[in-house]
Amino acid sequence: MRSEVRLAAALLAAFLIGAAPGSRAAPDVPAALEGSYVIPNFHFVSGESLPELRIHYLTLGKVHRNAQGHVDNAVLILHGTGGRGKNFMRERFAGVLFGKDQLLDAHRYFIILPDGIGHGDSSKPSDGLRAHFPHYEYADMVAAQHTLVTAGLGVDHLRLVMGTSMGCMHTWLWAERYGSEIDALMPLACLPVPIAGRNRVWRKLLIEAIRSDKDWQDGEYKSEPTAALRTAASLLLIAGSAPLEMQHDLPTRDAADEFADKFMQLELDELDANDVLYQVDASRNYDPEAQLDQISAPVMWINSADDFINPPELGIAEREVKRLKNGRFVLIPASERTHGHGTHSWPALWQEYLKELLERSAPSPR
């Protein structure tokens, strides 16, 4: 969903943070620097390996070190399934957070926006290996992010780790694996439990739609398996959309039909079946639940009440937040201003809670 003609689709199908093309970030947001870090001989949890794993990233601002020589202003922001770091540069995100005197002012903070394995310009199946690409999972993605941050960018401490959707789930894994290196955590739009129930069912349906399509040819297709991608795009749209928003923007049958047709054609022009399959399947072994009580850094956890993927009626968040030593859970009520699962990408709706988190996690003066 990168073309400007996708604007209507993106505002509704916000499962991917990169779904909505938007205007550029505000003028007072510093220009981002772009780069790639190559990790040699990367070993995956599956036992597979790559001689070179490329992790692409953007950075804004400059590193600052305290009197002890440790980085004290780095912020890591992690994207959702199918997204990329560059998507955080949209006006609705960067224009609210990264500008002069804003909460994550890039004139003061060093902001890191990586592309996860299998996403954006990082190494992915569609680069050439197709279905022979290692079957990565979230643990691999987080390990690669950590190597980028520490070895690639020389950052030994993070003021904040924030993530949306898949990046939200990665944030929990960062907290448990590298918590001593982090001052504060802000997971947006996820649950810290294994993916099960309806959330797993729609993912399984998407995965099997691709694998069972005769045109997929075990990943060695010459042209995209269109029927499979239609199913995948349909499921992603429903999972990411918000009913109030859709009813408002598509108030008639004709408007809804026109949107559906345009949305589908744009998706078919953009998606790669192997990339989508790997991206969704990467969540298969996600399970941070057992170690939640070991997280000591302050946590501000935000979900929205109109989130199809993480419905509040499950009561999971209210149960699990009690296990955090220093955590708060906030459920944003559904309204005509929220965007379903994609509310995670609209900081105007939750920046007050980010402000609270930064204030209560501020390191003590030395």
Query: Please, what are the domains in the chain?
Result: 22-194+292-360 (3.40.50.1820), 199-280 (1.10.1740.110)
Helix 253-270 / helix 226-240 crossing angle, nearest 10 deg = 120
Here the tokens at position 125 are: 């199946």
pLDDT > 70 fraction of the chain, expressed in percent and rounded: 92
> Shortest CA distance to 153 belongs to which of 115, 126, 114?
114
Indicate if the pLDDT at residue 299 is higher than 80.
yes
What integer pLDDT is reported at residue 139 of this predicted model?
A: 98
Q: List the beta bridge partners of residue 49.
A: 43
Q: List the beta bridge partners of residue 86.
A: none
> Shortest CA distance to 123 belongs to which of 140, 99, 106, 100?
140
- CA 182 – CA 75 distance, rounded (Å): 9
User: In whole numbers, what is the pLDDT of the chain averaged over residues?
Assistant: 92
Give me the sheet containing 185-188, strands edge to edge: 33-43, 49-60, 110-114, 74-78, 160-164, 185-188, 299-304, 327-332
Indicate if the pLDDT at residue 2 is higher than 80.
no
Instruction: Give the three-state DSSP class for 99.
Output: coil
**How is residue 151 annotated by DSSP?**
I
Lowest mean pLDDT among 24-33, 143-152, 245-254: 24-33
Helix (H) or strand (E) holding 39: strand 33-43
Q: Are 347 and 354 in contact (CB under 8 A)?
A: yes
Digit-coded pLDDT (tens) for 11-70: 444 433 334 433 455 668 999 999 999 999 999 999 999 999 999 999 999 999 999 999
Digit-coded pLDDT (tens) for 304-324: 999 999 999 999 999 999 999
What integer pLDDT is reported at residue 78 of this predicted model?
A: 98
Report pTM: 0.93
Lowest mean pLDDT among 23-27, 50-54, 254-258, 277-281: 23-27
